[in-house]
C-alpha cells in the first residue's frame, strides 16, 4: 500500500502538530479490526455482548457530555462569510486554525495516531471520493472500518497527488468547552477536536460526505444530499428508485428498510443517510450511497417498526450508549414492550422503570450495509441507480399533509426549501422545537443555502426528465395528540402511490400546495384506518398555510438578494392562492 507524497506530507504535519508516540497507517483488514477491538476490550472502551445471541457485537459508552452532534460548535470556515451564509456558523480560516491549533497542539502525546485512507462510494465508481483522516480514537478507527472502505480500495481510487479530503481528529478532553468541528471547503480540509461521537468524529460521514462534498458538488455540478436511497419493486418485478431527504432521527433508516404488507410489493435498501447524485450523459439523475455501513438510531427500532434493522444488528455490530441486560444483550426503549429486569442504563448504572430512558435517546448501532436483509443486490453498482422520484420529509405534528407532490421541478425545489421540522435527540439542545430545515440540510450544507437552492434549480435544467418531487409527513397528529397515519410498514402504501405517479397511472387532486392523492387513490386495502382520519391526514388548511408561509418569508429574508428569484416567486404565488 503506498500513498502519494502529499498524503504522507499531510500526515507528517498532523503528527508534528499533535505529537503522537506512534503513527499507524490503516489497511482496512479484518486483522486490523480485530486488533482494534482487542485493544478496546482490554482498556474498557468496548464491552463484549452475549457471544451466543449477539456474536461479534460490542457496547461502547460515550462520555456523558458527548452523545450527539453539537451544531453550535460546528463551523464553516470559508474565506468569505457570505459563502457560509446566514444559516451556518462561520469562523475566518486563520482564526479557526489558531483556536483549534491550541487544542490540537501536543494533544496526542503518549497516544497512537491512526492514519486512515478511506473511500466514500463503491470501488471503481467515477462518483466516489477519497478521504484521509487521522485520529487518536480506536473507536473512531473501528467505526470508520464499518462506515467507509478503508485502505487500498481508497488509495487505488486517488486520481492525483492531492485528490483527497483531509481530516484531522483528536478526542481532546471531550469537554464541549474545548470542542470545535471546523470545515474549510476551499482547502478540502476538516478539523475536529473534543468529541468522539458520531457525526462529530467519524469524519467521512457528515463532515466529508455532506459539508465538504456539498461544496465540491456545487463547483463540479452534482448533489451531495442527506438522503436515503430505496428501490421499490412492483408485482411485475420492475424497480423504481427514490431518494428521500429527512432530518436526523426522523425515520430514514426505517423507511430505507421498510417491509411491505402489500402483496407483490417490496423495497430494496441502497442507503439510509447520504446520497451523492450526478446527472449522467443522457440527462438521467443517478445516485450512489457513499457509505458502507449504517449508523442508525437504536431507540424505537423493533421487530414491528423495522424488522430488517432489528435482524441486521444481531451480529457484528458496535452499539453506542444503549442499555445492557443481565444476559449481556443490548436493550433500548421500544425494542420490547417492557424492559427486562436488571438492566443497567447507557452509563452503566442500575436502572428501574420510571428512571427515565435506559438507553440514551440518541444511542446508535454501527453495522455493515451487507448485513441488512433488504440490501439491494446492486447497491454497490459503480454507475449508481437511476432516480425517478425525490421525497422531502419532515417531522411535523400539524400543518403538513401526509403526502403531496410538487407541480414541477421548480415547485418541488420550493417545497424542499420550505421544509421545517421538530428537532430530535440527534443534536444537543431542545427536542421537539420547530425549526427550518430545507431539504434536511440545514446542519450539513457546506455553503450559502441560497446558492444551494440555485444549484438545485440549475440541476433541474440539466435533467432530461426531472424526477417527480414529493413532500411527506408521517408525523401529523389529531386533536388528541395521536398520530393520524400508522407509519412504518404502512408507508409502503405512500411509496406505491408515488411509483404509480411516476408511471402516470395514479389519480390525484390539484390543490394550491400541489397534487394530493385523489380519494381512493392511496391503497388502504387491509388497513384499519377510518376514511375521515385519512382525509384529516391529507388535509390542507388555508389559515395554517398562510401563517406558515409568513414564517417562511421571514426565513427567506435573511438571504437577501442571494435568494433565487424562482423561489421567491413560488412563495408569492402560494401566498396569493391563500389570499395573503
Q: How many chain residues interact with Mn ion (CB under 5 A)?
A: 2
Residue 295, contacted partner among ligand SAT, Mn ion, none, CB below 5-8 A by kind: ligand SAT
Of 63 and 477, CB closest to ligand SAT: 63
Closest approach of Cβ 505 to ligand SAT, in Å?
35
Closest approach of Cβ 313 to ligand SAT, in Å?
16
Choice from 198, 204, 446, 467 touching ligand SAT (CB under 6 A): 198
Cα dihedral 291/293/295/298 (nearest 10): 150
Of 248 and 423, CB closest to Mn ion: 248
- CB 511 within 8 Å of CB 519: no
Task: Please state, in angstroms and rounded to a whole number, the distance separating the CA atoms of residues 102 and 98.
Answer: 6
- CB 382 within 8 Å of CB 496: no
List the x/- string, 394-433, binding to ligand SAT by CB under 6 A.
Answer: --------------------------------x-------
Q: Give 404's strand partners.
A: 471
Choice from 88, 135, 248, 301 touching ligand SAT (CB under 6 A): 248
Query: Per CB under 6 A, does 206 bind ligand SAT?
Result: yes
Closest approach of Cβ 352 to ligand SAT, in Å?
29
Choice from 199, 251, 389, 393 touching ligand SAT (CB under 6 A): 199
Q: Between the CA of residue 406 and those of 229, 465, 578, what are the distances in Å?
A: 20, 15, 17
Q: How far apart are the first and last CA of the chain?
A: 64
Residue 199, contacted partner among ligand SAT, Mn ion, none, CB below 5-8 A by kind: ligand SAT
Of 274 and 492, CB closest to ligand SAT: 274
Residue 471, contacted partner among ligand SAT, Mn ion, none, CB below 5-8 A by kind: none
Q: Per the structure block, which three cell numbers stand in for 46?
A: 468496548
Task: Please state, in angstroms and rounded to a whole number, the distance separating the CA atoms of residues 276 and 30.
Answer: 27
Q: Between the CA of residue 456 and those of 221, 310, 344, what are the distances in Å?
A: 10, 35, 47
Phi-psi category of residue 532: left, alpha or beta, with phi > 0 → left and psi -120 to 50 → alpha = alpha
Task: Please state, in angstroms and rounded to a whole number, the distance separating the CA atoms of residues 303 and 301.
Answer: 7
Of 202 and 387, CB closest to Mn ion: 202
What DSSP string runs through 197-209? SHHHH-TIIIIII
Closest approach of Cβ 295 to ligand SAT, in Å?
5
List the x/- string, 462-491, binding to Mn ion by CB under 5 A.
Answer: ------------------------------
Question: Rounded to an integer, what is the distance from CA 189 to the centroid of its chain?
Answer: 20
Span near ligand SAT by CB under 6 A; candidates 72-80, 197-205, 483-491, 523-531: 197-205
Q: How many chain residues interact with ligand SAT (CB under 6 A)?
A: 8
Q: Give the contacts of 380 (CB within 8 A, at least 6 positions apart).
A: 122, 123
Of 240 and 301, CB closest to ligand SAT: 301
Q: Helix, strand or coil for residue 364?
A: strand
Query: Per CB under 6 A, does 290 bind ligand SAT?
Result: no
Residue 61, contacted partner among ligand SAT, Mn ion, none, CB below 5-8 A by kind: none
Query: What residue has cell string 454507475?
Result: 383
- Interhelix angle for 565-577 vs 449-461, to 10°? 90
Query: Per CB under 6 A, does 69 bind ligand SAT?
Result: yes
Span near Mn ion by CB under 5 A; candidates 16-24, 271-279, 338-346, 496-504: 271-279
Task: Please state, in angstroms and rounded to a whole number, the distance separating the CA atoms of residues 395 and 408.
Answer: 23
Span near Mn ion by CB under 5 A; candidates 29-37, 270-278, 310-318, 357-365: 270-278
Choice from 71, 272, 273, 437 touching Mn ion (CB under 5 A): 273
Query: Per CB under 6 A, does 205 bind ligand SAT?
Result: yes
- CB 288 within 8 Å of CB 125: yes
Query: Per CB under 6 A, does 295 bind ligand SAT?
Result: yes
List the x/- string, 219-248, binding to Mn ion by CB under 5 A.
Answer: -----------------------------x
Closest approach of Cβ 436 to Mn ion, in Å?
17
Span near ligand SAT by CB under 6 A; candidates 117-125, 199-207, 389-397, 472-480: 199-207
Q: Per the structure block, which three cell numbers stand in for 198?
A: 458520531
Helices (H) and strands (E) in the chain, counts: 16, 28
Of 253 and 260, CB closest to ligand SAT: 253
Residue 414, contacted partner among ligand SAT, Mn ion, none, CB below 5-8 A by kind: none
Of 273 and 500, CB closest to Mn ion: 273
Q: Between the CA of residue 354 and those of 286, 338, 339, 357, 431, what are the distances in Å?
A: 48, 12, 11, 8, 20
Alpha helices (runs of H) in 19-170, residue ranges in sequence order? 30-43, 81-84, 93-104, 138-147, 152-156
The residue ranges that bind Mn ion (CB under 5 A) are 248, 273
Interacting residue ranges for ligand SAT, rule: CB under 6 A: 69, 198-199, 205-206, 248, 295, 426
Amino acid at each position: 500500500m503506498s500513498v502519494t507524497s502529499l498524503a504522507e506530507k499531510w500526515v507528517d504535519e498532523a503528527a508534528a502538530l499533535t505529537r503522537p508516540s506512534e503513527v499507524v497507517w490503516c489497511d482496512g483488514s479484518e486483522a486490523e479490526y480485530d486488533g482494534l477491538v482487542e485493544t478496546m476490550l482490554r482498556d474498557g472502551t468496548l464491552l463484549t455482548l452475549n457471544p451466543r445471541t449477539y456474536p461479534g457485537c460490542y457496547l461502547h459508552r460515550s462520555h456523558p457530555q458527548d452523545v450527539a452532534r453539537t451544531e453550535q460548535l460546528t463551523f464553516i470556515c470559508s474565506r468569505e462569510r457570505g459563502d457560509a451564509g446566514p444559516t451556518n456558523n462561520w469562523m475566518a480560516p486563520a482564526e479557526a486554525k489558531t483556536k483549534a491549533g491550541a487544542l490540537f497542539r501536543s494533544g496526542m502525546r503518549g497516544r497512537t495516531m491512526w492514519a486512515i485512507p478511506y473511500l466514500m462510494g463503491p470501488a471503481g465508481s467515477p462518483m466516489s471520493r477519497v478521504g484521509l483522516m487521522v485520529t487518536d480514537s480506536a473507536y473512531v478507527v473501528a467505526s470508520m472500518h464499518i462506515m467507509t472502505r478503508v485502505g487500498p480500495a481508497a488509495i487505488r481510487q486517488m486520481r492525483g497527488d492531492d485528490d483527497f479530503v483531509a481530516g484531522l481528529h483528536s478526542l481532546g478532553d471531550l469537554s464541549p468547552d474545548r470542542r470545535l468541528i471546523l470545515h474549510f471547503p476551499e482547502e478540502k480540509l476538516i478539523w475536529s477536536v473534543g468529541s468522539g461521537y458520531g457525526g462529530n468524529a467519524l469524519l467521512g460521514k457528515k463532515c466529508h460526505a455532506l459539508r465538504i462534498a456539498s461544496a465540491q458538488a456545487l463547483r463540479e455540478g452534482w448533489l451531495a444530499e442527506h438522503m436515503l436511497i430505496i428501490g421499490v419493486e412492483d408485482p411485475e418485478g420492475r424497480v423504481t428508485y427514490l431518494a428521500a431527504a429527512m432530518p436526523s432521527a426522523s425515520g430514514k433508516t426505517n423507511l430505507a428498510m421498510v417491509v411491505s404488507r402489500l402483496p407483490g410489493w417490496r423495497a430494496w435498501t441502497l442507503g439510509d443517510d447520504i446520497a451523492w447524485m450526478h446527472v449522467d450523459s443522457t440527462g438521467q439523475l443517478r445516485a450512489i450511497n457513499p457509505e458502507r455501513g449504517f449508523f442508525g438510531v437504536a431507540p424505537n427500532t423493533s421487530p414491528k417498526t423495522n424488522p430488517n434493522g432489528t435482524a441486521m444488528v444481531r451480529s457484528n455490530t458496535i452499539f453506542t450508549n444503549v442499555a445492557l441486560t443481565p444476559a449481556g444483550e443490548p436493550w433500548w426503549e421500544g425494542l420490547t414492550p417492557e424492559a427486562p429486569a436488571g438492566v443497567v442504563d447507557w452509563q452503566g448504572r442500575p436502572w428501574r422503570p420510571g428512571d427515565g430512558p435506559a438507553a440514551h435517546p440518541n444511542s446508535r448501532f454501527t453495522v455493515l450495509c451487507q448485513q441488512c436483509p433488504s440490501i439491494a443486490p446492486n447497491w454497490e453498482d459503480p454507475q449508481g441507480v437511476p432516480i425517478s422520484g425525490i421525497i422531502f420529509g419532515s417531522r411535523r405534528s400539524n400543518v403538513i399533509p401526509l403526502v403531496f407532490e410538487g407541480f414541477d421541478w421548480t415547485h418541488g425545489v420550493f417545497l424542499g426549501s420550505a421544509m421545517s421540522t421538530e428537532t430530535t435527540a440527534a443534536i444537543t439542545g431542545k427536542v421537539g422545537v420547530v425549526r427550518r430545515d430545507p431539504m434536511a440540510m440545514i446542519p450539513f450544507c457546506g455553503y450559502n443555502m441560497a446558492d444551494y437552492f440555485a444549484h438545485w434549480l440549475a440541476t433541474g435544467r440539466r435533467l432530461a426528465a426531472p424526477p417527480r418531487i414529493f413532500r411527506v409527513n408521517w408525523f401529523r397528529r389529531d386533536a388528541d395528540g395521536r398520530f393520524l397515519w400508522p407509519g412504518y410498514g404502512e408507508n409502503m402504501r405512500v411509496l406505491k402511490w408515488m411509483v404509480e405517479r411516476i408511471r402516470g397511472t395514479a389519480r390525484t387532486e390539484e390543490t394550491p400546495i400541489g397534487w394530493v392523492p385523489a380519494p381512493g387513490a392511496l391503497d388502504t386495502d387491509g388497513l384499519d384506518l377510518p376514511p375521515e382520519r385519512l382525509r384529516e391526514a391529507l388535509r390542507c388548511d388555508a389559515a395554517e398555510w398562510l401563517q406558515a408561509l409568513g414564517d417562511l418569508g421571514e426565513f427567506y429574508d435573511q438571504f437577501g438578494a442571494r435568494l433565487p428569484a424562482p423561489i421567491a416567486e413560488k412563495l408569492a404565488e402560494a401566498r396569493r392562492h391563500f389570499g395573503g
